[in-house]
Amino acid sequence: MKFRSVFDIIGPVMIGPSSSHTAGAARIGRVARNLFNREPKWAHISFYGSFAQTYKGHGTDVAIVGGLLDFDTFDERIKESLEIARKKKMKITFREEEAVPEHPNTAKITVGDDDGELELVGISIGGGKIEIIELNGFKLRLSGHNPAILVVHDDRFGAIASVSNILAKHQINIGQMEVSRKEKGKMALMTIEVDHNLEDLVIDEIAALPNITQVARIVD
């Protein structure tokens, strides 16, 4: 069940004509910004399916850039996001892809600056709800509607248990957890959705564990 209440079906308070093409797109952009953990200097945005066909008329382009600027779905500044990005000298490129996606409302965002880059694929599933289905080549499922941590780690025995033990020590309940790896024994990714935002102390403890290479946080 994707929708928990009638308000999930109607969609969130938002700027724009469509919960799926506008609010969902803004949330995909904002998750990319959140995971990158800073404002990017550039962004390459590819639209697939319905997004590619209608993104200009439905405001998907301004919404997704608004998300990259850390604007929420109801922020009036979304309407001017392209101009705001230009004034900030954030280079934005859009591409309409012909490949047929698994979901009609699909966007791939690559953001970066002089210190690094990040790529994710997100889908807008209706009512302003989204799922992030790929991050830097890792397959995952992240709703973006709950606090979460993403833990990049070596695929070693005990890595998952050590992270879970720290969360248990701080009485943090795990709502959903998935693990993805590209190759056995190499790099892996834990995606953990929790019930409330995590304090810096918890993030620091996880980052200090053996076999952990990176921890990213998504706040509610």
Residue range 155-208, pLDDT digits in tens: 999 999 999 999 999 999 999 999 998 888 899 999 999 998 899 999 999 999
**Per-residue confidence (pLDDT) for residue 3, from 0 to 100:** 35
Q: What is the mean pLDDT of residues 5-31?
A: 63
d(CA 142, CA 146): 9
**Per-residue confidence (pLDDT) for residue 194, from 0 to 100:** 95
Band of residue 8 on the pLDDT scale cut at 50, 70, 90? very low
What is the pTM assigned to this prediction? 0.81
d(CA 11, CA 22): 10
72-77 — which CB contacts under 8 Å span 24+ positions?
Answer: 72/26, 72/30, 73/12, 73/13, 73/14, 73/15, 73/22, 73/23, 73/26, 73/27, 73/128, 74/12, 74/13, 74/14, 74/15, 75/15, 76/15
**Per-residue confidence (pLDDT) for residue 58, from 0 to 100:** 82
Q: What is the mean pLDDT of residues 67-96?
A: 95
**Per-residue confidence (pLDDT) for residue 18, from 0 to 100:** 56
**Per-residue confidence (pLDDT) for residue 108, from 0 to 100:** 97
Return the percentage of the chain with pLDDT > 90, whole number.
Answer: 66
**Is 12 a residue whose pLDDT tops 50?**
no
| N-terminal to C-terminal alpha carbon distance within the chain | 21
Residue 6, phi then psi, degrees to nearest 5: -60, -30
**Is 15 a residue whose pLDDT tops 70?**
no
